[in-house]
Amino acid sequence: MNLNTRGVINYLLWPVSGVFYALSKLRRVLYQLGVLSTNKFQIPVVVVGNITVGGSGKTPIVLKLASYLKQQGKRVGVVSRGYGGSHTGDSLLVEPSTDVKLSGDEPLLIATQTGLPVMINKNRSQAVKDLISQHQVEVVISDDGLQHYAMDRQVEIAVVDGNRRFGNGFFLPSGPLRESLGRLKQVDFVINNGGLFPGEISAQIKPIGFVHLVTGERKPLDFFSDQPVHAVAGIGHPQRFFQTLSQLDIQLHAHEFKDHYSYQSADLEFDDNHPIIMTAKDWVKCREFANNKMYYLEVDLDISEDFLTNLAAKI
């Protein structure tokens, strides 16, 4: 679909977007007035979400916050809806050995990289309750869920994509907005992932090195310099990943898949012997059929220590 056609469709859908905006506004007001009930908890809940659909880079921020609070001596748990997973029903504790088809990619990645209890449930409030009762956590981080108002929260963090921002500024379905821009004035922190904007906390994804999928061996950032590789990304904004690799002077054959894509081994069979580099989110979906050509890019989040200190003070 070309840009002109997409633009026409977006404008045709604008009346539907108006209805979506009105309903989302009404829903929030009903929670604020107590007409719809909110579940309260005895421990703080930190929500990391956004006001748009699509990948804004929430998961690296959840990983950073969870690791930081763990280092501060807090017993931390994480809740998620488990988007992309097949699990339904009661809460499911996600462990490194959990089948990614059951849990979804992001909860499995968080459980694998933090070693913390991760609970998935479409009812996030129940997931929080189960973390408290079964794992005696002292603080819960919710991966997404800014609009899940049935779950009370101590701290709200909104993540903004530093490059794409708010797209065309329309509400769903003619644009990416789930809530109005005014919602950003009501949260505790706004994190700008990949950019700079007044009043927003800058965060940058920083590559660390490459990890072999089979052996776990780490390679430095210049290991693939001037080499042709296949770059694979099934994330919300794959161009950011490809750009990062290009900046490392890697010769890319880019392969873009839809967000939360469920890989099959045939998807990564190419007519050459070039290395295959993917994101960590793709790694947890390719572990079962990994071969010696596959690596994932290990990253960290560069964010100010002042923000982390201020966050800890709020909980």
**Number of C-beta neighbours around residue 88 at 10 A:** 9
| pLDDT for the residue 16 | 87
Instruction: Express each pLDDT in 247-291 by its tens digit.
Output: 999 999 999 999 999 999 999 999 999 999 999 999 999 999 999
| pLDDT for the residue 7 | 63
| pLDDT for the residue 113 | 96
Q: What percent of the chain has pLDDT over 70?
A: 97
On whether the CB atoms of residues 155 and 140 are closer than 8 A, the answer is no
Q: What percent of the chain has pLDDT over 90?
A: 87
Taking phi over 0 as left and psi of -120 to 50 as alpha, with beta for the rest, 144 belongs to left
Residue tagged 């919602």 (tokens): 183
On whether the CB atoms of residues 171 and 183 are closer than 8 A, the answer is no
Cis ω for the linkage preceding 173 (within 30 of 0): yes
This prediction has a pTM of 0.92
- Look up residue 37 and give its amino acid: S
